[in-house]
DNA sequence: CGTATTTGACCTGCGC
DNA sequence: GCGCAGGTCAAATACG
């Protein structure tokens, strides 16, 4: 009888600890959410004033570098996609469904990491190019800037390790594309969350559906969709709980989040 | 030997 | 016009 009581008390204690962890987690999530909302409000205000994200980018370049070049003067923005790689992966190769040939590398002033220049090699006449550089915020993140459109279709096994991978390639190490904002401020928030969630062994994959890849989505829309996604919220919550409790077994935390459905 | 990568040289655009 | 920085070229090199 006493044994049963002890077991129950131990369970009760465990539930209390989990409850505390969840409360803390909720506070952290709420705090982050409020911060994101204020950032979005700021972005919206700027857009209402007629300052686009691209102009913000140009302005920030003016601050950081007196010789900021307007590399893409056309209305169409370059597509910038961020990829998370394994920490020990020092290559600048990304599996994005196309075959690229490297034609140059350069160290830029504003980033200690070299920038690699690639041309699409799937078709001789394809004008598509891309630049890949490690992010100054998080060196495990690769920023790929795509310029020009492909005049052919992608490989069938897009985003998957391929046996036809070029020699020396560690493309299989690349994980899912992360996000496509062209606003450094918004990107800082993404990195903050990304770093925070990185402690969790489970990386959040498949957040961005394939059809989004290749299109310019607004950061507001993206964040809105991510917040509504129960998988992402759960993964995020688990990461926070892991930090707070120091527990290594995710399954020991029975997170029963009441995630609102759309 | 063919193909991909590396890397220094060169080209181009922009600000002063 | 000059200098700087990003982008591109192409010869050398590496690799299967």
A109 sits within 7 Å of strand C by its CB: yes
Distance from CA(A168) to C1'(C15), angstroms, rounded: 9
How many CB atoms are closer than 10 A to CB A183?
20
Say what the pTM is: 0.47
**Confidence class for position A11, pLDDT limits 50, 70, 90:** confident
Q: CA–C1' distance A98–B12 (Å)?
A: 29
The whole-number pLDDT of residue A117 equals 92
Task: Evaluate if the CB of A261 falls below 7 Å from strand C.
Answer: no
Q: Is the CB of A260 under 7 A from strand C?
A: no
What does the pLDDT look like over A23-39, one tens digit per residue? 655 655 555 556 666 66
φ, ψ of residue A217 in degrees (nearest 5): -100, 155
The nucleotide minimizing the C1' distance to residue A109's CA is: C5
Exposure class string for A140-155: b at 16+ Cβ within 10 A, else e: bbbbbbbeeebeeebe
Strands, sheet with A129-134, edge to edge from the N-terminal-most edge strand: A79-84, A141-147, A129-134, A114-120, A100-107
Q: Any idea which nucleotide's C1' is nearest the CA of A71?
A: C6
Nearest residue to B5 via alpha carbon and C1'? A102
A59 touches strand B (CB under 7 A): no
Asked if A207 and A249 touch (Cβ cutoff 8 Å), the reply is no
pLDDT in tens, A197-253: 443 323 333 333 333 344 444 444 555 555 555 555 555 655 555 555 554 444 444
Instruction: Say whether pLDDT at A113 is over 70.
Output: yes
**Which nucleotide does the CA of A65 lie closest to, via C1'?**
C5
User: Mean pLDDT across the stretch A189-196?
Assistant: 46
The nucleotides of chain C lying under 7 Å from a protein CB are 3-10, 15-16
Q: Does the nearest atom of strand B lie within 7 Å of A168's Cβ?
A: yes
Which among A72-81, A104-113, A132-141, A211-220 has the top mean pLDDT?
A: A104-113
Please give the share of chain A, as a percent, with pLDDT higher than 90. Answer: 2
């Amino acid at each position: 009888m006493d044994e049963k009581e002890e077991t129950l008390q131990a369970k009760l204690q465990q539930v209390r600890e989990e409850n505390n962890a969840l409360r803390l987690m909720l506070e952290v999530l709420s705090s982050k959410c409020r911060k994101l909302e204020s950032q979005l409000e700021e972005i919206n205000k700027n857009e209402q004033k007629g300052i686009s994200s691209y102009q913000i980018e140009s302005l920030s370049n003016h601050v950081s570098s007196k010789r900021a070049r307007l590399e893409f003067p056309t209305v169409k923005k370059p597509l910038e996609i961020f990829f998370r790689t394994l920490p020990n992966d020092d290559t600048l190769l990304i599996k994005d469904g196309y075959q690229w040939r490297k034609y140059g590398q350069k160290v830029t002033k504003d980033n200690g990491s070299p920038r690699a220049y690639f041309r699409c090699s799937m078709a001789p006449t394809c004008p598509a190019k891309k630049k890949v550089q490690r992010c100054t915020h998080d060196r495990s993140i690769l920023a790929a800037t795509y310029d020009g459109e492909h005049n052919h279709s992608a490989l069938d096994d897009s985003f998957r390790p391929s046996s036809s991978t070029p020699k020396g390639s560690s493309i299989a190490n690349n994980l899912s594309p992360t996000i496509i904002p062209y606003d450094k401020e918004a990107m800082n928030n993404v990195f903050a969350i990304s770093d925070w969630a990185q402690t969790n062994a489970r990386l959040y994959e498949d957040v961005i559906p394939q059809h989004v890849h290749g299109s310019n989505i607004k950061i507001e829309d993206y964040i809105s969709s991510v917040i509504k996604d129960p998988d992402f919220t759960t993964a995020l919550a688990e990461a926070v709980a892991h930090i707070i409790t120091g527990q290594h077994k995710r399954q020991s935390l029975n997170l029963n989040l009441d995630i609102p459905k759309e």
